[in-house]
Every structure is written in structure tokens, then in C-alpha cells.
Amino acid sequence: MTAHVMHPMASPDGCPALVLNADFRPLSYYPLSLWSWQDAIKAVFMDRVNIVSEYDTVVRSPSFNMKLPSVVSLKTYIKPSRTPAFTRFNVFLRDRFSCQYCASREDLTFDHVVPRSRGGLTTWENVVAACSPCNLRKGDKMPAAIEMFPTQKPYAPTVNDLHRNGKLFPPNYLHESWLDYLYWDSELEP
């Protein structure tokens, strides 16, 4: 299949499809659930998705012409995971990409509230986002000894907690056809 682009400024490589679950919610907000245009077309032909919205860009082959999907919904509902993976990225997302000691958003790493050298575990309940200067300053000391307490007590977030925080950090590119599906559950202004 070769792509013949209808609009000279559009590129099929720049036409990702937003992937919605069967309930029309994105599979994930952060990172945003996107498929390449090739994967979206493959899923259409395999009858795994419905096309919800399309770009003006057309791909052509000898046997068909098709507008590239901009939004697709799965035909089969995928039950979201109840517990997010414990990863550095998800710790940062839970903590809204800010140091839990000084609120800086620069040079983030993570800190064990109870240091590992003092029996602290690498768990949701003991790890927070911290900037390098605060992490270095705290070192292997207990919070009370140095009077450095996280602004929020570390906790194991739900998938919904991470989705809610992810909405605060939208991706650099949002196609207009995606907007109705990304923020439909946001609180409405009076």
C-alpha cells in the first residue's frame, strides 16, 4: 500500500489515530493512546475497530481509497488495569512532575522518604519525586532529622489518579477531532 497525500502540507506519518476503548474513553491519557496510521488501517481491515473520525488525508492502493482514521474505537471492551505499574514515570505523574520537597520541576529524580540504608523499601508508599538538589540535601537522613517532609504523603495511585494527573500535561499535538473524546469527563464551567 502506498500513500498518496491529498494535501501537500499533510503527511501520513503525522496522522496518528486516537484509540478509544469500546466505551469511547481513551485507552490511556498519559501517554495518550495513539496508533500510527498504518496500525489504524490494519485494525480497520482486521475488523477490530470502528472509525469514529477521519483526516482529510487519503491513502490509495490499486484496489481502494481510504481517508486516514483520526479516531478509532475498539469493538471489544478492554478492561483497564486497576493498579498502575510502579515505574519512575508513574511516580513522577502521581507527583505531577514536581519535587515533593520544594515544588521544582527541574532535574527530577526520586527519593526514598525512609532511606534504603535505614530499611526503607522501594514502594509507592516510600518513594517521591524529588529534584536532584533536594535529593542530595536529604541524602540518607530521616525526614524529621533534616526537617524535609514531602508535601504529599506518598501513596499507591489508582489508574484514575494517573489519568486525572495526565490531563494536566497534554501532549504537544492534539488533533481537533480528538478533543471531544479526551476531556468529556472534565467538569463543565457554569
Ordered alpha helix ranges (H), 51-122: 88-94
Does the residue 32 lie in any domain?
A: yes
Does the residue 103 lie in any domain?
A: yes
Note whether 22 and 76 are same-domain residues: yes
Note whether 20 and 67 are same-domain residues: yes
Q: What is the pLDDT of residues 22-68, one digit of tens each?
A: 999 888 777 778 899 999 999 999 999 999 999 998 999 899 899 99
Distance CA 92, CA 115 (A): 18
The reply to whether the predicted model has a pTM over 0.85 is no
Closest CA to 134 of 144, 126, 121, 146: 146
Distance CA 154, CA 125 (A): 5
Note whether 76 and 33 are same-domain residues: yes
Distance CA 50, CA 73 (A): 5
Return the sign of the alpha-carbon dihedral for residues 71, 6, 3, 10. negative
List, in order, residues 6 or more apart from 153 with CB less than 8 Å away.
Answer: none
Query: Cell numbers of 83, please?
Result: 493498579
Closest CA to 171 of 26, 21, 7: 26
The two counts, helices (H) then strands (E), for the chain are: 6, 6
Note whether 27 and 75 are same-domain residues: yes
Q: What is the pLDDT of residues 94-142, one digit of tens each?
A: 999 999 999 999 999 999 999 999 999 999 999 999 999 999 999 999 9
Closest CA to 19 of 96, 76, 102, 59: 76
**What's the confidence (pLDDT) of residue 55?**
93
Residues composing the chain: 190
Q: What is the pLDDT of residues 59-105, one digit of tens each?
A: 998 998 999 999 999 999 998 777 888 989 899 999 999 999 999 99
Note whether 98 and 73 are same-domain residues: no
Task: Provide the CATH number for the domain around residue 140.
Answer: 1.10.30.50
Does the residue 172 lie in any domain?
A: no
Does the residue 43 lie in any domain?
A: yes
Domain final residue, candidates 47, 80, 113: 80
Note whether 45 and 73 are same-domain residues: yes
Beta pairing, strands 65-74 & 108-112: unpaired
Task: Check pLDDT > 80 for residue 183.
Answer: no
Note whether 68 and 113 are same-domain residues: no
Task: Check pLDDT > 50 for residue 11.
Answer: no
Note whether 25 and 75 are same-domain residues: yes
Does the residue 139 lie in any domain?
A: yes
Domain tally, the chain:
2
Task: Check pLDDT > 60 for residue 7.
Answer: no
Does the residue 6 lie in any domain?
A: no
Does the residue 20 lie in any domain?
A: yes
The CB density around residue 1, as the number of other CB atoms within 10 Å, is 12
Residue 60 contacts residue 93 (beta carbons within 8 Å): no
One-letter identity of residue 132? S
Domain final residue, candidates 105, 127, 145: 145
Domain boundaries, position 109: 88-145
Q: Report, in angstroms and rounded to the nearest whole number, the Rg of the chain calculated over CA atoms.
A: 22
